[in-house]
Amino acid sequence: MGLTKEQHPQIYLDFLRDGYCVIPNIFNKEELKNISEEMDQLEKTAKKQKNTIQIDGSLFVIENDAIQRVVWCSGNRPKLQTFSRHSVILATVENILCSSEFDQIICQTHFKLPGDNVEFEWHQDSQHRYFGTEYWTDINTQGSFVQTLIAVDEMNLQNGPIEFIKGSHKLGHIDLPNNPNWEDQCKNFEREKLCMNPGDVAFFHPYVIHGSTSNHSPLKRRVLINGFAYPGANRFEYPGCGLGVRIST
């Protein structure tokens, strides 16, 4: 049930064309309830912290009294690991990376709570994978990485949805922080604010440009993010207890 031309032809074309795609309703209500409860516990722990701290193999990133993210969140809440490796997610990652083996290097939660002013500026995930340094090699020449995002709550236009510059992955890695003209390169690309229902899962190309504003609604907007790298692409040890878990499908 992964991302194959035969089973999900339009989704496959969306990913190739836009640099991202969404498979709806991967998780049912009971699974979402379990994920939400685990994230409630992470939030409860995070709100007790004054500064960034590592607890039980998870890095709680606290800035300006807001929860920015919890890195390798399944260290503190092991049940989340099961959901990060749902069979549909792994099958889709396998098809995107064209490999039956890959390394999970990201497992984190993002909280956008009402009034916390958490936002993410325009970026490519390849920036955070240290593209162009000794820590990363694009082995399969297609980015060698795919990021997945599980919508735990509804993502709508009011609560800080992810906005994509559609098709920008075709530009490759363009080093946004050191490229003052990058917006000129993207002036002909359409932008889309992605709305998702709880249980939907998005898949991102590492070169697609995206970002999000803060939550202006009275409701939470939480996501569970997981990232998978082609074998041998990553050589960076990320915070937390997840140092690159090899997965075979």
Alpha carbons 186 and 171: distance in angstroms, whole number: 9
Cα separation of 81 and 84, whole Å?
A: 5
Question: Tokens for 35?
Answer: 């994920």
Buried/exposed code over 88-98 (b: 16+ C-beta within 10 A; e: otherwise):
ebbbbbbbbbe
User: How far apart, in whole angstroms, are the C-alpha atoms of residue 180 and residue 176?
Assistant: 7
pLDDT given at position 5: 47
pLDDT in the model for residue 249: 85
Query: Using one digit for the tens of pLDDT, what is the confidence trace for 195-246?
Result: 999 999 999 999 999 999 999 999 999 999 999 999 999 999 887 766 678 8
Cβ-based neighbour number of residue 180 at 10 Å: 8
Interatomic CA distance for residues 127 and 218, integer angstroms: 32
Distance CA 15, CA 203 (A): 8
The whole-number pLDDT of residue 9 equals 62
Q: Which of 54, 211, 186, 215 is nearest to 127 (CA)?
A: 211
Q: What is the pTM of this model?
A: 0.94
Measure Cα distances from 239 to 79, 198, 217 in Å. 19, 28, 31
Q: What is the DSSP letter of 186?
A: T
Say what the pLDDT of residue 8 is. Answer: 60
Q: Are 231 and 102 in contact (CB under 8 A)?
A: yes
pLDDT means per 10 residues, the chain with 249 residues, are 53 88 94 97 96 94 94 95 94 91 95 94 96 94 96 97 97 94 94 97 97 95 97 89 78
pLDDT at 36: 97
Q: List the domains of the chain with CATH numbers.
A: 9-248 (2.60.120.620)
Contact 152, 198 (CB under 8 A): yes
Distance set, CA 213 to CA 4, 161, 193 (Å): 32, 7, 10
Helices and strands per DSSP (H, E), number in the chain: 6, 13
State the burial class of residue 202 (Cβ atoms within 10 Å of its Cβ: 0-12, 13-18, 19+). buried
Residue 198: CA count within 13 A, CB half-sphere: 15
